[in-house]
Amino acid sequence: MPQSFENLADLMAHGFDTVIDVRSPAEFAEDHIPGAINLPALSNDQRAEVGTIYKQVSAFNARKIGAALVARNVADHVEGPLAAYDGSWQPLVYCWRGGQRSGSFASILQQIGWRADTIKGGYQTYRKLVHDAMYIDPLPHRLVLLDGYTGTAKTALLHLLAERGVQIIDLEGLAAHRGSLLGGVAGGQPAQKGFESQLAQELAKLDPNKLTVVEAESSKVGQIVLPKQIWARMSAAPRIEVSAPLAARAAFLREAYADIIADPALLRERMQPLRNLRGHAVVDGWEALLNAGDFTALATALMDQHYDAAYARSRKASDRTWLGEVHAETLDAAGRARAADDLAKLIATL
């Protein structure tokens, strides 16, 4: 019988050995159940071909051709990625709606002797659970925001807090973006749905009765929009400020943005949109520092002439509850460790 799940926690505790997503690679790339492997019943091209036959010829012809393609593809998977599994293996299979693709795939696995089953409603069931958790059901978690000017090593401090037993969510890590104009990383960002899946999974791992520390963000991280319920909690959450001297922040940014510094042409390109905001003379000054290879001075100028002013305006414009401040005189490894110790002590009192 297809497996039914009432909530994300139940689905994540499914108890099967392997979750197999048999949708096309394009569907899988956009979003999938975290931890699932992709063994397509139909490739991208085959899915398009069967869909065209369904619309232009007949449903019967589409099913007949689709069945032959699925059978060949499953045979390839059995002889390839699945060849090493013994008779005790239990896979959980899903497709888009929990219908023909997953049913056919699971049926072949069952005939071999594996205890395969499917998810009732397929990916659409899973996606509804994620959507409800992110947009409908109030988030039960108690959040505290780690706030501060650009360059105060907030993301690095989050992970040091995790090492000290504090619950965290790294939104920038999940979004594959450092949350600023210059913050893109190699490989680009996940799809919105994929981000929401990862976020929902991370939240499901946490104890809602304990504080969870999240870096203060705007409602978008790069092109990713923070879902309604996490943003509602963040908007109302109290904050801890991290402060550090401008020189320490500049030195840290040079370290943290080493990948951007290594590609001056890309850095120059990313600065161009700020001409409309800061003016040509200011951006020309930044480019002169870039051309001279003085990246510490460039980081200092970017913060002094752009990021700090933007942060000060946003802070002045909003009502924020502050729980305390941790000051780091340096933001090298030792300085970050000291700041993380101070943050952990402060959080333990809340």
Tokens of 218: 């705007």
First to last CA, the chain: 48
CB 118 within 8 A of CB 93: yes
Query: Catalytic residue among 95, 130, 133, 303, which?
Result: 95
Tokens of 207: 């104890």
What residues contact 195, with CB distance under 8 A and at least 6 apart?
174, 175, 189, 224
274: left (phi over 0), alpha (psi -120 to 50) or beta: alpha
Q: How far apart are CA 117 and CA 308, in angstroms?
A: 55
Q: How far apart are CA 75 and CA 39, in angstroms?
A: 11
Block residue for tokens 């510490």: 296
Alpha-helix residue ranges (DSSP H) falling in 122-227:
122-131, 154-163, 171-175, 192-205
Q: Are strands 239-243 and 224-225 parallel, antiparallel or unpaired?
A: unpaired
Expressed in percent and rounded to 5, the helix, strand and coil fractions of the chain are 55, 15, 30
**Is 95 among the residues known to form the active site?**
yes
What residues contact 6, with CB distance under 8 A and at least 6 apart?
none
**Catalytic site residues?**
95
